[in-house]
Structure 1
Amino acid sequence: MHSYRNEAEIKQALGIESWRNLSKAKMIRFAMMMPDMDAELALKVIEQFPAFAEFATGVVGAMKKMHKSTLLANKESQDRFHQSCEEMREILKVELSKDGLSFDEKKYFIEQIQATLKMEYQKDTENKQFLDGALKKLLVGVAFVGALGVAFVGGKMVAETKDSPEDEASLEA
């Protein structure tokens, strides 16, 4: 575990020359590095970010947009799959309704219809697991950005309180 002592070490680790060069990806990397730096140093660095709140809101917005896009693509895929299964069952029903089929042929078509139903059930279960995982990832990401915001605001409040003359007077009393 590396302990960062100053801003220059943090910039070097992030591969940037200035805080203005901090991309969203590097901002997230910075947040992951925060436990390895002194709280005052972390606060000092965060205060230099041009628009921290705007950045955090943008990250959450981008995550929501990506989640929505994933859900839409998933729904379209699910709809196509279910439509294909329904079309397959319709073909099998037509074949099953033909005259002169043997018992084994009828049994085969019925088994194929059952197989499509089983595939749909499995796909539905798989989809619910996918949606659950996608929602959990979104919630973890939003919580992370929220925690980063709380750390920023909380750190600012601690720094302001530390510099407050009233605190010094109450400590002396």
Structure 2
Amino acid sequence: MGKKMMTENEVKKKLGVDSFKDFNKEQISEFASQLPYMDRDLAIKIIDQFPDFSNMALGAINQFRLILGKLTDDAAQGQKAVIASYNKILDELVDLLKKEDVSHEERVQILERMLYVADRIAEHDKEQKRFLKEIAAIGAAAIGGAFVLGAAILGVLYKKDS
């Protein structure tokens, strides 16, 4: 697109929107890519109609915190249930070891089972931590994207002003 868009209606038509207040993420991204083709004053006028970027970013962060809190609470509950199950198995194996009529070979097998259960607990813990790291990385990328987009828009406007 070579010519500068001079009216709000031209920009709305290009972006396929009726109002700048109801932008979704894709439309905001498309808007940012169209900034070089807009008159500076028009771009500022349109940005003034956006929902406040800082409130949007804070809202995204707060929403992410709620989601992450819920995920970690759910994960913690699941983790507790799994560990409780493994502990029950370990308790039963300990009870078997306490019996006097258990042979040496059976004791070795029981100890091997206990080690296997301990390994499963450690593996489950690793999987849980990996899952939480992935969730945190996804959320951080999404929030970072919102800030980068805001900075890109402000940077283009500043460059046009200079």
Task: Give the TM interval when normalised to the shorter protein.
Answer: 0.7 to 0.9
Q: Tell me which amino acid in the other structure corresponds to 1:53.
A: S
The corresponding residue for 1:81 is 82
* Cα 1:60/1:152, change in 2 over 3 Å: farther
The corresponding residue for 2:120 is 119
Residue 9 in structure 1 maps to residue 14 in structure 2? yes
Deviations 1:28-70 (A, max 9, x none): 2224435642435494543321433322221222122212221
CA distance in 1, matches of 2:58, 2:134: 23
Contact 2:93-2:110 within 8 A present in 1 as well: yes
Q: SS of the residue aligned with 2:54?
A: helix
Deviations 1:130-154 (A, max 9, x none): 2221222222122111112212333
The corresponding residue for 2:20 is 19
Deviation >4 Å, runs of 4+? none
Q: What is the TM-score normalised by the length of structure 2?
A: 0.76
The corresponding residue for 1:60 is 61
* Cα 1:89/1:43, change in 2 over 3 Å: farther
CA distance in 1, matches of 2:80, 2:18: 49
User: What percentage of residue pairs aligned between the two structures are identical?
Assistant: 17
The corresponding residue for 1:29 is 26
Structure 1 residues without counterparts, runs of 5 or longer: 163-173
* Cα 1:90/1:134, change in 2 over 3 Å: same
Q: SS of the residue aligned with 2:49?
A: coil
Q: What is the TM-score normalised by the length of structure 1?
A: 0.72
CA distance in 2, matches of 1:47, 1:109: 70
CA distance in 2, matches of 1:68, 1:40: 42
* Cα 1:43/1:90, change in 2 over 3 Å: farther
The corresponding residue for 1:131 is 132
Higher relative contact order (Cα pairs below 8 Å, separated by 6+ residues): 2
Structure 2 residues without counterparts, runs of 5 or longer: none
CA distance in 1, matches of 2:21, 2:32: 22
Cα deviation for residue 75 of structure 1 reads: 1.8
RMSD: 2.6
CA distance in 2, matches of 1:110, 1:51: 62
Cα deviation for residue 118 of structure 1 reads: 0.7
- Which stretch shifts more, 60-69 or 42-51? 42-51
Q: SS of the residue aligned with 1:64?
A: helix
* Cα 1:36/1:21, change in 2 over 3 Å: closer
Aligned length: 150
- Which stretch shifts more, 91-100 or 122-131? 122-131
